Amino acid sequence: MASPSTSNLSPKLLLMSLLLGSFVVASVGNLYQDFDLTWGDGRAKILNNGQLLTLSLDKASGSGFQSKNEYLFGKIDMQLKLVPGNSAGTVTAYYLSSQGPTHDEIDFEFLGNLSGDPYILHTNVFSQGKGNREQQFYLWFDPTADFHTYSILWNPQRIIFSVDGTPIREFKNSESIGVPFPKNQPMRIYSSLWNADDWATRGGLVKTDWSQAPFTASYRNFNANACVWSSGSSSCSSTSPSSTSTNSGWYSQELDSTSQERMKWVQKNYMIYNYCTDTKRFPQGLSPECTATTTS
């Protein structure tokens, strides 16, 4: 039976409504419906009737979750509040990934630090198993004091990382110059809180202070405006996938001039590492997308 909100629509409008509805595969709502708690022996919890998810880390174990759905393109938003206080040695990872030796992956990782020192936001893009595309940033706020929105926009032309709606990084599709781009492997959302004190803080010099445990990161307001992959096919129309753009524009979205200026501001003032300028690490030459200036 049609719902009251659609029962009076013409057949054409009803079809359009149903089609558009299929692309909004998750809305701000119940985290029980969107995620499975995958490891941590009870250290991962969904609370407040599905409105809040927390991950905890102690000396025995960290914890993690993953999305029930796989996606092939979409705009993914999640609000996070990171481990407060002395978080040195801890890593909170939030990323999209496929499986297998030639996997694709789009990463946010938050590297903890001593009290008063800034978190490092680490980003990376893997395509067909190859990564080494790290860019790192400080944040312009305290990410432990309140929730902030971390977003990944992934469409066939580009990947855009954003924080509270401000773009910080763009990785463009550069297949025309031989750079693989994630476009064929559906990816799940994963997140974990774990101990990485062998490398996370000052290259491993600062170790985790277990007297501060348990460490806790919090998540809320997940939203996925995306194409769900199920049983070998996408929820988005293969003949006209851009029809999803009438919903929010994400499938063909690119940075306008204002967004480009905001991203340049972030990169000028808060970027602390860029693989595209690290000639010592890559003496054989930088990646083609770096010299072609097709990645930011």
* Residue numbers annotated as active site: 105, 109
Paired with 81 in beta bridges are: 218
SS3 content of the chain, % helix, strand, coil (to 5): 20, 40, 40
Q: Are 155 and 109 in contact (CB under 8 A)?
A: no
What span, in angstroms and rounded, lies between the C-alpha atoms of 30 and 51? 6
Kindly state the tokens that stand for 131.
Answer: 């990564």
Q: Are 247 and 24 in contact (CB under 8 A)?
A: yes
Q: Are 138 and 122 in contact (CB under 8 A)?
A: no
Closest CA to 87 of 214, 199, 191: 214
What span, in angstroms and rounded, lies between the C-alpha atoms of 199 and 261? 33
CA separation (Å) from 247 to 19, 46, 141, 228, 254? 10, 29, 31, 15, 15
What span, in angstroms and rounded, lies between the C-alpha atoms of 58 and 193? 10
Q: Are 194 and 93 in contact (CB under 8 A)?
A: yes
Please give the span between the terminal C-alpha atoms of the chain, in angstroms, as a whole number: 49
Sort strands 166-172 and 52-57 into parallel, antiparallel or unpaired. unpaired
